[in-house]
Amino acid sequence: MPVSNPIPERYHRQVILKGFGEEGQNKLSTARVLVIGAGGLGCPALLYLAAAGVGHLGIIDHDEVALSNLHRQVLYDTTDIGQPKAERAALKLARLNNEVGIIPYVMRLQPANCLEILSGYDIIIDGSDNFSTRYMVNDACVLLNKPLVYGAVSQYEGQVSIFNSGEIRTNYRDLFPHPPAAGEVMNCAEAGVLGVLPGIIGTMQASETIKLITGIGEPLVNRLYTFNALSNLSYEILVSRTDLSASLIPADTYQFEQTNYDWLCGMPSGSLEIGLRQFNNMAGKAGILVIDVRENGETPLVQEFPHIQLPLSLLRENLADLNAETVVFFCQSGKRSLQAAQWLKDIQGPVKNIYSLQGGILNWRSPITE
Amino acid sequence: MNNTDIHIMVFGQLAEITGTANLRLPFVADSDLLKAALLAQFPAMGKVNFIIAVDKKPATKNVTISSESVIALLPPFSGG
């Protein structure tokens, strides 16, 4: 007489659920899920997926644990500060459930490695913290035809959705076709986030992933769920395919790998910035125009090197008139000047070399005192 | 007949521009007119990316608004 396998004690409480059963557990045990970002969203998602017995978990994060992460990134403790997140997460999850195969990737996800890494998984969870990664992962999932469990937070609110799954396939660009410009949307570092909020949203991502794998319930396919923790209001919008979105996604692997997502997302690439020494070597030389983009009245006033004043608020309309071989912008801290450099680069005018003084005038020292 | 206000749910940092998460504006008949009214009242909205959703659907093209329509403004979030 055949003896049926006893339900493993570890998963007993979910296997006895109606609609879940041993079949659901078996599906989980063979599933391969990649979590992008082991931060506020990734930590709770990983904890629940490992606990539930998802067979294989990939964790990609290039970052290290910082003290300011600990109020929301619940996989880490004080002794983890300075350690790579992906490795620490993998270690702790292995303690939680040694039946799960866990692969940490301590690296930055980039167009050059993205498709290869994602292609080894069935479902991708986006828990990243920036638009460059989000648009890159979205486009990669469309190209690879992989379900994407999207989650994002800001301050007291979060969003969850599933893209690229089901009969009608939609993606994030059907909602927001173009990435916002730099500075348009603040990230957690600048805008803040209630620690428990990514806990709620990341846990929902885990829940949606389990529903997708096991086929239970009605996952948030083509529905963007928005939740506000202050008011407890939630709101859902239905996502439909748009022609614009389809036209914006790279056509093939080659095009994808050539796409500069940092650039698309308005994140000025570091090459525009110059340090103190390079700046001092340039200032005052022929063919080099130094521009102060601070608003009128900002101090300290600068008399040590020749420059013109063109406040950022007036810069855009005057960009095309700038005519020098090299233009170097500076401001108070280096942020506005970097924006100015980006704008000038964008118009593709006559200026050949465009730079921004890193750290701004507040960190500037004359060549004599340096 | 449509002399009533329309009620708009405002999400994310857009609420910092509107000053409220529950905005009321005089009735307008479609989403293009709504967008124009929003930009007139809150010029800062011209600089940010957001969706106008009418009855749960993003207004990717101009759509009609009725006095019963549920309207929401949603910005993209990037935090994790």
**Confidence (pLDDT) at A1:** 46
Q: What are phi and psi of A29, to 5 degrees?
A: -70, -15
Residues B78, A244: C-beta atoms closer than 8 Å: no
**Cα–Cα distance list, A315 to A62, A320, A328 (Å):** 36, 10, 13
Task: Count CA atoms within 13 Å of residue B68 on its CB side.
Answer: 0
**Confidence (pLDDT) at A274:** 81
**Confidence (pLDDT) at A102:** 98
**Confidence (pLDDT) at B3:** 59
ipTM of this predicted complex? 0.92
**Which tokens is A329 given?**
């912008």
Angstrom distance (rounded) from CA A246 to CA A55:
33
Helix, strand, or coil here: B64? strand
**Confidence (pLDDT) at A152:** 97
In DSSP terms, which residues pair with A92 in a beta bridge? none
**Cα–Cα distance list, A359 to A208, A280, A338, A342, B16 (Å):** 43, 14, 10, 16, 29
Residues B51, A175: C-beta atoms closer than 8 Å: yes
* Listed residue (A109, A121, A96, A116) closest to A38, CA to CA: A109
Q: Which residues of chain B have pLDDT under 70?
A: 1-3
Q: Which residues of A touch B78 (CB under 8 A)?
A: 129-131, 134, 152, 154, 185, 187
Q: Which of B47, B75, B80 sits opposite A41 (nearest CB)?
A: B80
Q: Which residues of chain A have pLDDT under 50?
A: 1, 188, 370
Q: Which of B49, B74, B79 sits opposite A237 (nearest CB)?
A: B74
Q: Which residues of B touch A158 (CB under 8 A)?
A: 77
What strands lie across the sheet with A32-36, from one edge to the other?
A: A101-105, A56-60, A32-36, A123-126, A148-154, A157-163, A223-228, A234-238
Q: Which of A178, A187, A240 sits opposite B79 (nearest CB)?
A: A187
Whether the CB of B3 is below 8 Å from some CB of chain A: the reply is no
**Confidence (pLDDT) at A297:** 87
Angstrom distance (rounded) from CA A291 to CA A82:
38
Residue A130 in contact with residue A259, Cβ under 8 Å?
no
Angstrom distance (rounded) from CA B50 to CA B74:
5
Residues A134, B78: C-beta atoms closer than 8 Å: yes
Angstrom distance (rounded) from CA B9 to CA A181:
24
* Listed residue (A88, A149, A89, A139) closest to A115, CA to CA: A139
| Residue in the block written with tokens 């557990």 | A25
**Confidence (pLDDT) at A334:** 84
What strands lie across the sheet with A288-292, from one edge to the other?
A: A273-274, A353-357, A326-330, A288-292, A308-309
Q: Chain B: nearest CA to A18, how far in angstroms? A: 32
Mark which residues 7-26 of B lie under 8 Å from A by CB: 9, 11-13, 21
**Confidence (pLDDT) at B46:** 86
Where do runs of H (alpha helix) occur along A302-354? 312-318, 335-347
Q: Which residues of B touch A224 (CB under 8 A)?
A: 74
| Residue in the block written with tokens 């909020």 | A197
Q: Chain B: nearest CA to A175, how far in angstroms? A: 7
